[in-house]
């Protein structure tokens, strides 16, 4: 068990350290600019990335920051209407070749929005066609076939959670603002004496 966890931590560390800091900083700054302009951050993904996107949106909403999830498949059936001029759309695609994601990117080109990609392939249809791409080097998924989306989805979650936290920190979100969105549960109990 410990050997498995050690291998996992090494793989995750390698991938996270492969991120271009300037690119990540640009992602954070553009996210802040988007929100300050009254627009929102839209994340889009398929398959195992769906709950990753939903967790990011949940974190952003709990901080009072405007974010939503757009299923890549549902986008062509009307959901793309939630993307407005000035919004920032982040597409998650491990390969950068997912047909639905490529099609979505082509549709987004016709809208006045920022297009970002989080991927693990430097050279792909999407990484070469979106406005900006945050690319991680992934040594292995962690399963015996190196196919099951495990480490890639974990890394996507880590990156998006860090994005949410950095945006909230730099935008000066207070504990009181956080409390307003957590009136119940354990968090609500812990924060009951905090001024809103």
What pLDDT score does 193 carry?
A: 84
Tokens standing for 95? 């390969």
Q: Mind listing the domains of the chain with CATH numbers?
A: 2-190 (3.40.50.10490)
Q: What is the pTM of this model?
A: 0.95
Q: How far apart are CA 172 and CA 154, in angstroms?
A: 27
Pairwise CA distance, residues 191 & 196, whole Å: 10
Q: What is the pLDDT of residue 182?
A: 87
Which residue spans within 113-188 are E strands per DSSP? 114-119, 132-135
- The stretches in the chain having pLDDT less than 50 are none
Half-sphere exposure of 60 (CA within 13 A, CB side): 23
Return the pLDDT at 195. 78
**What is the per-residue pLDDT across 18-50, written as a single tens digit (0 to 9) for each?**
999 999 999 999 999 999 999 999 999 999 999
Cα separation values, 96 from 9, 76, 105, 161, 184, Å: 24, 19, 11, 21, 40
Task: State the Cα–Cα distance between residues 71 and 48, nearest whole angstrom.
Answer: 12
Mean pLDDT of the chain: 95
* Residue 194: predicted pLDDT: 83
Scanning the structure block, which residue is given the tokens 């901080």?
Answer: 63
Q: How far apart are CA 72 and CA 36, in angstroms?
A: 26
What's the confidence (pLDDT) of residue 188?
86
Give residue 78's pLDDT: 94
| HSE value, Cβ hemisphere, 13 Å, CA-based, for 171 | 25
């Amino acid at each position: 068990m410990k050997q498995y966890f050690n291998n996992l931590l090494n793989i995750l560390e390698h991938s996270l350290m492969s991120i271009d800091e300037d690119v990540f900083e640009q992602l954070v700054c553009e996210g802040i600019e988007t929100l300050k302009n009254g627009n929102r951050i839209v994340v889009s993904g398929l398959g195992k990335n769906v709950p990753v996107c939903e967790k990011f949106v949940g974190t952003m909403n709990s901080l009072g920051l405007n974010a939503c999830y757009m299923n890549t498949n549902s986008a062509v059936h009307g959901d793309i209407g939630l993307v407005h001029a000035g919004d920032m759309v982040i597409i998650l695609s491990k390969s950068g070749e997912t047909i639905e994601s490529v099609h979505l990117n082509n549709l987004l080109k016709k809208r006045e929005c920022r297009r970002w990609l989080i991927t693990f392939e430097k050279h792909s249809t999407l990484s070469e066609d979106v406005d900006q791409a945050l690319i991680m080097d992934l040594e292995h998924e962690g399963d015996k076939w190196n196919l099951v989306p495990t480490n890639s989805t974990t890394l996507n979650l880590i990156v998006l959670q860090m994005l949410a936290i950095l945006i909230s920190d730099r935008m000066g979100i207070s504990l009181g603002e956080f409390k307003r969105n957590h009136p119940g549960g354990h968090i609500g109990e812990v924060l009951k004496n905090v001024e809103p």
